[in-house]
């Protein structure tokens, strides 16, 4: 049952002013705003960022702004529903397309927000995370979790571009976002890529588990793709051919706040994802996919990115009838589950 609540205008102006002078606010005029009926108010709008429109502008940024003047040469994929200046894709997710030109160096820093990179294009770049040199190849996922030093270098001959996904909006909102600059890292042994690259077997820690909270930093696309193709071949009836990027020691999500997944759509497949509370981001690693949500329909080709607000079903259709398409998905599920607000409404 919902009845009309009193408005601010219903109150004597001097009374409201007396409250304000004491840093007090009446709840009832704003109660329905902060606790709307049945479904949250979402500023996150379905938004599509075609790669072909971003790439030339990013390359132009490479001409206009030297790396020393940028530190990170990034065009932010900002959701207009939040206001572009907020640099948010959703309530908790930030997306950016980053360019590194051959020979350039993005210096070492660490920060409280968690980041991952999904490599879009180019050869020869690498990210050093916590002393581990992680080569960047198309489709690879590289973690730079909270607090770990990271820097980017490029020994190749062509521009390298990747998609950054950070939980920056949330960490900033919590007044917990800051960075520290550091020295160039020395590369040390203990390559997580060698130790944890094979699902199902992990290094035996005789006395204790790894001391590292994030034992695996680079997830090669060749491995993730092989896992998806294996699952699809094993069970032709399996609808959601999807893997989650996990911490190989704990089995938990790879990072604490955002979740990361790879999804394979079989030739011509149409897959309805249920309406769940977290917002989601879809990025095409290989193929072409139609993404339908609310009253929007996006045609996503390779390297395109889009986002969907929470509490809405999304239907994904592989636009190729004769081959699989592959998506990278990021969402706010780990956060929603930890906060106890996760819902699947079917
Ligand atoms: O590469 O370290 O898109 O610190 C935003 C902040 C990338 C990075 C971003 C960052 C980075």
- Residue 64's pLDDT is 98
Which of 71, 72, 99, when mutated, tests ligand 1's pocket best, judged by the most ligand atoms within 8 Å of its CB?
A: 72
**Cα separations in angstroms, 139 against 83, 111, 271, 303:** 30, 24, 22, 10
- Distance of alpha carbon 195 from alpha carbon 215, whole angstroms: 9
Burial class (CB in 10 A: 0-12, 13-18, 19+), 153: buried
Q: Given the CA of residue 96, which atom of ligand 1 is nearest to it?
A: 3
Q: Given the CA of residue 144, which atom of ligand 1 is nearest to it?
A: 2
Q: Given the CA of residue 94, which atom of ligand 1 is nearest to it?
A: 3
- Residue 2's pLDDT is 58
- Residue 211's pLDDT is 79
Q: Is the dihedral of CA 47, 75, 120, 247 positive or negative?
A: negative
- Distance of alpha carbon 71 from alpha carbon 272, whole angstroms: 40
Where do we find the tokens 């705003």? 33
**Which residue has its alpha carbon closest to ligand 1 atom 6?**
72
pTM for this predicted structure = 0.97
Q: Which residues contact 321 (CB under 8 A, 6 or more apart)?
A: 267, 268
> Quick one: tokens of 328?
């990278």
Residue 251's SS3 state is coil
- Residue 1's pLDDT is 54
Question: Taking the C-alpha atoms of 63, 66, 72 and 75 in order, what is their torsion angle to the nearest 10 degrees?
Answer: -30
- Distance of alpha carbon 74 from alpha carbon 71, whole angstroms: 9
Q: Given the CA of residue 111, which atom of ligand 1 is nearest to it?
A: 4
Which of 100, 164, 181, 281, when mutated, tests ligand 1's pocket best, judged by the most ligand atoms within 8 Å of its CB?
A: 164
> Quick one: tokens of 56?
């030339």
Give me ligand 1 centre to Cα 124, in Å.
19
Give me ligand 1 centre to Cα 144, in Å.
9
**Which residue has its alpha carbon closest to ligand 1 atom 10?**
72
- Residue 111's pLDDT is 98
Residues having CB closer than 6 A to ligand 1 are 72, 74, 96, 98, 111, 115, 150, 164, 166
**Which residue has its alpha carbon closest to ligand 1 atom 11?**
72
With residue 100 as reference, give the H or E element that holds it: strand 94-100
Give me ligand 1 centre to Cα 261, in Å.
20
CATH of 47-203+213-339, one of 3.40.50.720, 3.30.450.20, 2.60.120.10, 1.10.150.110: 2.60.120.10
pLDDT digits (tens), the chain, 346 positions? 557 999 999 999 999 999 999 999 999 999 999 999 999 999 999 999 999 999 999 999 999 999 999 999 999 999 999 999 999 999 999 999 999 999 999 999 999 999 999 999 999 999 999 999 999 999 999 999 999 999 999 999 999 999 999 999 999 999 999 999 999 999 988 888 888 888 888 888 877 767 789 999 999 999 999 999 999 999 999 999 999 999 999 999 999 999 999 999 999 999 999 999 999 999 999 999 999 999 999 999 999 999 999 999 999 999 999 999 999 999 999 999 999 999 999 9
């Amino acid at each position: 049952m919902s009845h009309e609540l009193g408005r601010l205008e219903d109150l004597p102006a001097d009374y409201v002013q007396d409250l304000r002078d004491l840093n007090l606010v009446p709840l009832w005029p704003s109660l329905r705003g902060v606790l709307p009926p049945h479904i949250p108010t979402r500023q996150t709008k379905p938004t599509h960022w075609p790669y072909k429109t971003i790439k030339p502008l990013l390359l132009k940024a490479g001409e206009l702004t030297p790396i020393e003047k940028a530190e990170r040469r990034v065009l932010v994929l900002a959701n207009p529903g939040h206001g572009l200046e907020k640099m948010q894709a959703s309530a908790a997710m930030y997306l950016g397309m980053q360019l590194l030109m051959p020979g350039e160096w993005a210096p070492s820093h660490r920060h409280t927000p968690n980041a991952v990179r999904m490599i879009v294009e180019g050869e020869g770049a690498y990210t050093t995370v916590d002393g581990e040199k992680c080569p960047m190849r198309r489709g690879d996922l590289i973690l730079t979790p909270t607090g770990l030093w990271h820097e980017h270098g490029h020994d190749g001959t062509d521009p390298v571009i990747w998609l950054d996904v950070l939980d920056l909006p949330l960490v900033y909102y919590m007044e917990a976002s800051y960075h520290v600059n550091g020295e160039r890292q020395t590369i040390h042994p203990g390559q997580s890529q060698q130790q944890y690259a094979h699902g199902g077997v992990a290094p035996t820690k005789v006395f204790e588990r790894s001391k590292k909270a994030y034992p695996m930093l680079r997830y090669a696309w060749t491995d993730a793709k092989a896992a998806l193709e294996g699952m699809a071949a094993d069970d032709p009836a399996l609808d959601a051919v999807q893997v989650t990027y996990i911490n190989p020691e704990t089995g938990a999500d790879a990072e604490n706040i955002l979740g990361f997944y790879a999804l394979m759509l079989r030739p011509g497949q149409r897959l309805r994802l249920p309406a769940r509370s977290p917002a989601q981001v879809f990025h095409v690693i290989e193929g072409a996919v139609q993404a339908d949500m609310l009253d929007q329909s996006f045609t996503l080709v390779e390297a395109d990115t889009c986002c969907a607000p929470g509490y809405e079903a999304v239907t994904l259709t592989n636009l190729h009838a004769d081959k699989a398409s592959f998506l990278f998905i990021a969402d706010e599920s780990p956060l929603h589950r930890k906060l106890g607000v996760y819902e699947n409404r079917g």
